[in-house]
Amino acid sequence: MLEGLRVVELATYIAAPGAAGIMADWGADVIKVESPEGDPMRRFFDTIASQQDANPVFELDNRGKRAVVLDIRADAGREAMKALVATADVFLTNVRPGALSRAGLDHETLRSLNPRLIYCSLTGYGLEGPDADKAGMDVAAFWSRAGVGSITAPKGAEPFPIRTGMGDHVTSLATVSAILAAVFERQTTGVGRLVETSLLRSGVYAIGSDMAIQLRFGKLASTRGRREAIQPLANFFKTRDDRWICLLPRQGATDWARIAEAAGRPELVDDPRFASARSRRENTAALVDLLDAAFGAMDYVDVAAALDAGDLTWAPYQTPRELVGDPQAEAAGCFVDTPDGSGGTFRAPAGPARFPGAEDGPRGPAPKLGADTTAVFRELGWSEDRIAALTGPTD
């Protein structure tokens, strides 16, 4: 879908490389520019000896790209970067604005070289305000400062961290959509624009329903434990064979009778403690205890059949290990075969969308550091001597 779109990525870690990685899956020519030291994510597993032969975290976000090494601290590196950006449709970076300005790679400078350029800046906190140049990771900017962690933790729990790259990948999705909106706009205007995304703003949007309540009403209910839930039927229950299920009743009263039937306790519908949503909320602990006993007397397969017979919304509460064997995840295209660079493949998470009938998966492995520097600058018409000045002697 994106064949013919050239993206130059000057970025490290996950959020911005993840956005470029999605576009690479969809056919864009993504050129990853790294310092001579390389993206720190290349060394993600360095301290785990048994994992040094693979780096699935780096591979996920960088598969199908081409890799160039440039030292933008030096005049030659900055000149080469500008020459490369002059050929690009998109420049995507998560380098802090101050450092980009010092290197002459700010928005105004690069757009003056390439008026069609879509310049996308992904930062921790945005391009304006007192913290615009502050370092930001997803545990800090997305999870902690944006409030995602505080409303996720049950009331009274101590803070705990987000899982690897979760906030980053939400921001990757926002960044891809913003870039492609600018690509669409450019079809009409003929000129590029500055696009800005941040971990902070993505975090606020990720909890947008709760934030809308906070902004409108000035208060927000906390996340509560199972026996203190505001909606006791929207809950988790364990089966006799130690499988957890997630149950979600639809709005209105139609699902209560179906849930009671599925649990083998249809008489609970007539119990005055549970006759209305309000009374169920007032008697949450008692109702959860009764449903715990009911579902806990049934095996998972029987609970699943009963809930499906009632056309109820539910799902198994799975671990990643269990998800790998989920036939629906396979059918939905959640996993793809990724080239390993040695003629084989390995399984990895797929991108976030499917385009039936089109290639939307990995185009190649994650590149070795600087593997394509010579080839990319040959394409730009650079002489071998000029390239050698960037890369050192080549065979």
Q: Which two tokens stand for residue 371?
A: 């593997």
214-223 long-range contacts (CB < 8 A, ≥24 apart) are 220/151, 222/151, 222/154, 222/155, 223/151, 223/152, 223/153, 223/154, 223/155
**Strand pairing class (313-316; 118-123):** unpaired
Residue 49 in this model has a pLDDT that exceeds 80 = no
Report the C-alpha gap between 381 and 132 in whole angstroms.
38
Residue 66 bridge partners (DSSP): 31
pLDDT tens digits along 212-227 = 999 999 999 999 999 9
pLDDT tens digits along 291-339 = 999 999 999 999 999 999 999 999 999 999 999 999 999 999 999 999 9
Instruction: Give the number of other CB atoms < 10 A from CB of residue 328.
Output: 9
From residue 197, alpha-carbon distances to 25, 129, 134, 142, 179 in Å are 21, 14, 14, 12, 10
pLDDT tens digits along 102-125 = 999 999 999 999 999 999 999 999
Report the C-alpha gap between 6 and 352 in whole angstroms.
20
Residue 394 in this model has a pLDDT that exceeds 70 = no
Give the pLDDT confidence score for residue 395 in this predicted structure.
40
**Strand pairing class (66-69; 90-93):** unpaired
- The dotted CATH code for 6-209+331-391 is 3.40.50.10540
From residue 289, alpha-carbon distances to 76, 227, 285 in Å are 70, 8, 6
Average pLDDT for 57-75: 96
Give the pLDDT confidence score for residue 253 in this predicted structure.
67
Please provide the average confidence, as pLDDT, over all residues in the chain. Answer: 95
Report the C-alpha gap between 292 and 237 in whole angstroms.
6
Instruction: Out of 4-8, 45-49, 334-338, 368-372, pick the least confident.
Output: 45-49
Report the C-alpha gap between 243 and 163 in whole angstroms.
23
Q: Which two tokens stand for residue 283?
A: 């008697």
Instruction: Out of 42-56, 156-170, 199-213, 351-365, pick the least confident.
Output: 42-56
Instruction: Give the number of other CB atoms < 10 A from CB of residue 25.
Output: 24
The predicted model scores a pTM of 0.94
Residue 393 in this model has a pLDDT that exceeds 60 = no
Could you tell me which of 162, 69, 24 has the C-alpha nearest to residue 389?
A: 69
Q: Which two tokens stand for residue 322?
A: 């269990």
Give the pLDDT confidence score for residue 254 in this predicted structure.
81
Contact, 45 vs 51, CB < 8 A? yes
Instruction: Give the number of other CB atoms < 10 A from CB of residue 348.
Output: 15
Residue 251 in this model has a pLDDT that exceeds 80 = no
Contact, 385 vs 392, CB < 8 A? no
CATH 3.40.50.10540 in the chain: give the residue spans.
Answer: 6-209+331-391
Q: How many CA atoms lie within 13 A of 139 on its CB side?
A: 7
